[in-house]
A and B are shown apart, each in its own frame.
Chain A
Amino acid sequence: MTTQSSTNRLRSLTASLSKVEGLPIALVLVVVFVAFMITAPTVFLKPGIYMSFFETIPPMLICGLGLTLVITAGEIDLSFPAVVALSGLALAWSYRNLDPIWGPYVGIVVALAAGALVGYTNGILVARLGVPSIMATLAAQFFWYGITILLAGGLQVALVGIKDHFLHELLVGRLFRGQVIGGQNFPGLPVQALWATALAVLMWFILNRHTFGEAVSFIGDNADVARVMGINVERTRVQLFTLQGVMAAIAGILLTLDIGVFYPTQGNYLLPVMAGVFVGGTSIAGGAGSIVGTYFGMYIIGSLEAGVVATTISGYWVRVVEGAVMAGVVVLNAIMGEGRLAALSERFRHWSTREQRSIPAHMTMEKPDEVLK
């Protein structure tokens, strides 16, 4: 009797826990960092490494937020790295060639417009001309990256003096820098981490609480159903790719401002960003995406390399560990997602009751019609 009630409690607990969005992935993030704290305490017990992650991961995360929606709609975007580069160049060019005070403002507008343009043309190719998004955006990646290299003449562009500009302070500045915490100077919290978090909150609301996000989910689920229910499928797809272009442009702006230099190869993290989205539990089949999952997933992916290196094991192990962690998380998602954890605990309950009462297996089938399925 007590076993019965405790398994029931376990069942309702696991069922309600599996409803919390992104919880498994958040737990994995904690486990990963605890593992690093144990294996590399000199690095991971100080704030420096975390502040470094808050500097390097936000641009990836912002690309991943847009990509989460794209994948939820059953599409893919391979062209965002080119947009990160192109928008960075737009900003750098405006700063160098226009007024040093208001030039960066113009640069941001131009960068966002460039991102929107690339995204819009992707959307037209996919939604109006019916080109599969993997091909359309692959071509776009080559084309726009080529345009960027061409315009930059293959050279990097330094934004000399940008660190004194108000926009630098506003978008990629450091909070609480130099304050003494635990006897050490705090290196400062990168502001871009807060902007990325704010964007994540906004995108969560767009995906889960806005008609646009609902349209995206239904299109990824079944475009025919979406159409029959009065969703303008083509227009939504164009808007979606445009949004992704703008998100990648924001990432490019933050990245270029932060390092103060435009590199032609910046934003070259297609695979890590995709890994972050999938690790976060967004379904490759479309119809179900998790912004919370992408948020934590990107911090896992973005911190693995530095973390593994910090443990001082051979550098050759880095990719092995990364791959193993990714595979592990994806398997975990497959088990926990879609209420399968609840199904699992249901099975535990069956096992425990069967042992307890020693009822023959065929009599424990409470719902024969479910078994038939």
Chain B
Amino acid sequence: MTEHRPHEFALQMVNIEKYFGPVAALRNINIQVGRNEIVGLIGDNGAGKSTIVKILTGVYRPSSGELYIAGRKVDLSTYSVRKAHEYGIETVYQDKSLGEKQALWRNFFVGRQITRRFGFIDVKKEKELANEIMLNTIGFRGRGITVDSKVSKLSGGERQGIAIGRAMHFEAELIVLDEPTVALSLKEVQKVISFVHKIKEGGKACVYISHAIHDVYEVADRFVIVDRGEVVGNIRRSDVTLKELDEFLLGYAHGLKDKQE
């Protein structure tokens, strides 16, 4: 049906546009993410990062354009959050990924429980799998944290690790991290970074949204820079130093690039 070879790209956004009434929030967005690539989506507040994420995860419907996930063309007229899960897009939000008073094992499987007859949960199996995800998939080495621990006992970085591990377990083609390090201490940020490395090792793709470019620079293979609803930069990590990237972004922040045009 499509000319794209399957799995060449985890994600392709082709000429995506989004209008809110007459206001163009996104114009001519073209983004590709390779199937084992980590793309840092960066830009200032209000640049359009979160609008892109919301289109990607089925929250917003784009005004025009095409979306391909693992080479399959997405029917945007019926696309939804649930459909995004079916297509293999998992999102880790900065603060609404886990139920705080619930045990870890419940958080891994909520919404997709392993059930016996009549909708009763197979607790033993869920706990076993949760334990395996914690130890093997994300290499979780928390102090005295078990699958029975409540999420409220975890630090901010550990929580993101749980959410990332959950996404990886459910065979995500693409894991979207929406500002995962906001409000975290430096030590916790390092934990999140190490979990993101696990995504790469696990052979998955990732879109890492942040405006903290120091964090993104450590993990991303490529940077897509968004400004005022448009993609203004597409730079491989090997072609740029952190300092150059910083200066590039600062140029937009100060409106210098506008004057040059």
A residues neighboring B (CB under 8 Å) = 205, 209-212, 214-215, 217-218, 221-222, 224-226, 228-231, 283, 287-288, 338-339, 367, 369
Contact = CB atoms under 8 A, between A and B. Distances in A.
B99 A228 contact: no
Interface string B216-239: 000000000000000000000000
B85 interface: yes
Contacts of A230: 81-82, 85, 111-112
Contacts of A226: 99, 110
Interface of B: 81-82, 85, 91, 93, 96-102, 106, 110-113, 115, 118-121, 123, 143, 150, 152, 187
Nearest to B101: A287
Contacts of B110: 214-215, 218, 226, 229, 231
A221 B106 CA distance: 12
Given A222-B99, A228-B96, A214 B120 contact: no
A222 B100 contact: yes
A217 B82 contact: no
Contacts of A218: 99, 102, 106, 110
A209 B106 CA distance: 10
A147 B115 CA distance: 42
* Central interface residue in B91, B93, B110, B123, by most chain A CB within 10 Å: B110
A338 B98 CA distance: 17
Given A222-B96, A229-B110, A230-B81, 20 more contacts: A209-B121, A210-B118, A210-B119, A211-B113, A214-B110, A215-B110, A217-B101, A217-B102, A217-B106, A218-B106, A221-B99, A221-B101, A225-B98, A225-B99, A226-B99, A228-B93, A229-B111, A283-B101, A288-B101, A369-B187
A209 B122 CA distance: 8
A287 B91 CA distance: 23
Nearest to B149: A339
30 contacts: A205-B120, A210-B118, A210-B120, A211-B119, A211-B120, A211-B121, A214-B106, A214-B110, A214-B113, A217-B101, A217-B106, A218-B99, A221-B99, A221-B101, A221-B102, A222-B96, A222-B100, A225-B98, A225-B99, A226-B99, A228-B91, A228-B93, A230-B82, A230-B111, A230-B112, A287-B99, A287-B100, A287-B101, A339-B150, A367-B143
